[in-house]
Amino acid sequence: MSKSNIEWTEVTWNPTTGCDKITAGCKFCYAEVLTKRLKAMGQPKYQNGFNITLHEAELKRPYGWRKPCMVFVNSMSDLFHKEVPLEFIQRVFETMNETPLITYQVLTKRAERLAELSQFLNWTDNIWMGVSVEDEKVMDRIGYLKLTQAKIKFLSLEPLIGPLPNLNLDGIEWVICGGESGPGRRPIDPQWAREIRDSCFTSNVPFFMKQMDKKIPIPDDLMIREFPQTNNSNNQLNNQKITTMKTTTEIQTKQAILAKLSPFKKEIGQALINGENPESLAIRLAEKRVMPVPTAQAYITMVRKLFDKVETLPAKMETIVTQKNNVVAKNVRTKISDVKDVAVDVEEGEITTIKFEITINLKKSK
C-alpha cells in the first residue's frame, strides 16, 4: 500500500505495472515518467520499464490491511490491457472480493475489453469501476462501462482536453473532472468543467473537481468534491466533504477581505491566496514598487495577520454536517452546495464580522 496524493483516493495498489499509449489522453502519461524515475532509482518492481509486468506478490498485500480505505488499483498500469491475462485479472478480483472493508477504484481506458470480460468477474459492492474520457472522440468508453455488472460505475474526465457537450450520465454513479498537469500540459477551459458540473447536478450524480492544472487554483464555483453514497462508504469520505467546505469557505472569506483592502494590499492578498511564497513575493514587490524588501515584508505581514484570523468553518457548522452524514439512510446521499453570500467587515486592520451561508440537502439516490 502506497499513500497517494491523488485527491479522490487514499492509497494505490499496483498488481501490474506498465502500459502503452492508445489515445490523446495518454500523450503526457505521468506513470511512464514516474516509471523511468523509479527504474533509475533501482526499484526492483520497475526494472522491466514500462512493459506490462505482473506482480504475483502484490495479490497478497491487501489481506494485511486492517482499516477501511479507498484504494486506486493500478495507478501505474491498466488492468484491462490486452497483455494482462484474464486469469490474472480474476485473481486480482478475488483479492478484492475477499477484502470487503477496502473500497477499490479500478480505472481503465480499455473499455471494450472491460465489457468483454465483465461476465467472467465477480463484482462485489466494494469494487468501483471507471473509464477515462478525455474528449468526445472516446465517449464510446462510457457505453462499454454501462455494460458491466459493477455496482458503482464512474467516469474520470481527465485530463480533460476538450468539451463533452453530449455527456449521458444515465447509469453513472460518480464523475471526476480534472485538467492536465506536468510539462507540456494542455489547458482546460473552466467552462467545459462547468458544463459537466451542471450535467451532474441535473442527473443527481456526485461531482468531484480534482484540479485545473495544479498551478491554477480551482475557481470557487467549481470547488466541489462529492463522493457516491454507498454501503461501503466510511467516515473519511464525510471528513473530506467537510474539509472541502472549509477550504471553499476560507478562500471565499479571504476574497471578501480583499475587497476591503487598498489595491496594493489586495495584490499581496491575491498572491498569497494563489500560493506564492512570502519571501519571493517580497522580493518581487520590492523590485516592482521600488521599495526596500523589509517594507514589502511588513505589508505582507499585515495581510497575513488578517488571513490568519479567518476561521475556515465554525465548529457548530462542522457539527451539523457530521450529524447529517451520520443519519443518512442507505438510499439517500448528502449534497452540499457552494458556500455563498460571504461578507466581511474590516475596521482599522481588524476583522470584526464574517458572515456566510452554506446549504446542506439530503437527496434520494436513484
∠ CA(358), CA(361), CA(363), 5° rounding? 160
Q: Do 186 and 265 fall within a single domain?
A: no
Q: Do 202 and 320 fall within a single domain?
A: no
All three cell numbers of 12: 494505490
User: In terms of Cα–Cα distance, which of 42, 21, 16, 23 is closest to 32?
Assistant: 21
- What is the distance between the alpha carbons of residues 108 and 118, in angstroms, rounded to a whole number? 13
Q: Do 34 and 171 fall within a single domain?
A: yes
Do 69 and 233 form a contact (C-beta atoms < 8 A)? no
Q: Do 249 and 194 fall within a single domain?
A: no
Specify the DSSP element, H or E, that contains 251. Answer: helix 235-258
Instruction: For residues 74-82, give the mean pLDDT.
Output: 93
Q: What is the mean pLDDT of the chain?
A: 80
Q: What is the pTM of this model?
A: 0.65
What would the pLDDT profile of 160-201 be if each residue is shown by its tens digit? 999 998 899 999 999 999 998 877 789 899 999 999 999 998
Boundary of a domain, candidates 213, 233, 253: 233
Residue 217 has pLDDT above 70, yes or no: yes
Do 17 and 55 form a contact (C-beta atoms < 8 A)? yes
| Residue 54 DSSP SS3 | strand
Query: What secondary structure letter does DSSP report for 335?
Result: E
Q: Do 164 and 280 fall within a single domain?
A: no
Q: Do 84 and 161 fall within a single domain?
A: yes
| Residue 30 DSSP SS3 | helix
Q: Do 364 and 264 fall within a single domain?
A: yes
Burial of 260 (0-12, 13-18, 19+ CB in 10 A): middle
What would the pLDDT profile of 84-125 be if each residue is shown by its tens digit? 999 999 999 999 999 999 999 999 999 999 999 999 999 999
Q: Do 57 and 94 fall within a single domain?
A: yes
Q: Specify the higher pLDDT residue, 133 or 1.
A: 133
Residue with cell 450535467: 199
Residues 6+ apart with CB under 8 A from 293: 282, 283, 286
Name the domain count of the chain.
Answer: 2
Boundary of a domain, candidates 208, 233, 258: 233
| Residue 169 DSSP SS3 | coil
Q: What is the domain range of residue 278?
A: 238-366
What would the pLDDT profile of 233-278 be if each residue is shown by its tens digit? 444 444 454 445 555 555 666 777 777 778 888 888 888 878 888 8
**Helices 293-308, 235-258: crossing angle, 10 deg rounding:** 130
| Residue 208 DSSP SS3 | strand
Q: What is the distance, to the nearest Å, from the Cα of residue 214 to the centroid of all Cα atoms in its chain?
A: 11
Hey, what amino acid is at 241? K
Boundary of a domain, candidates 216, 233, 250: 233
Tallying the residues shown for the chain, one arrives at 366
Q: CA torsion angle for 232, 233, 234, 237 (degrees, to 10)?
A: 160
Using left for φ > 0, alpha for ψ between -120 and 50, and beta otherwise, residue 359 falls in: beta
| Lowest-pLDDT choice from 181-190, 250-259, 283-292, 335-344 | 335-344
Q: Do 217 and 245 fall within a single domain?
A: no
Q: Do 286 and 217 fall within a single domain?
A: no
Q: Do 273 and 180 fall within a single domain?
A: no
Burial of 156 (0-12, 13-18, 19+ CB in 10 A): buried
Q: Do 67 and 152 fall within a single domain?
A: yes
Query: What secondary structure letter does DSSP report for 312?
Result: S
What would the pLDDT profile of 128-154 be if each residue is shown by its tens digit? 999 999 999 999 999 999 999 999 999
| Total Cβ atoms within 10 A of residue 355 | 11
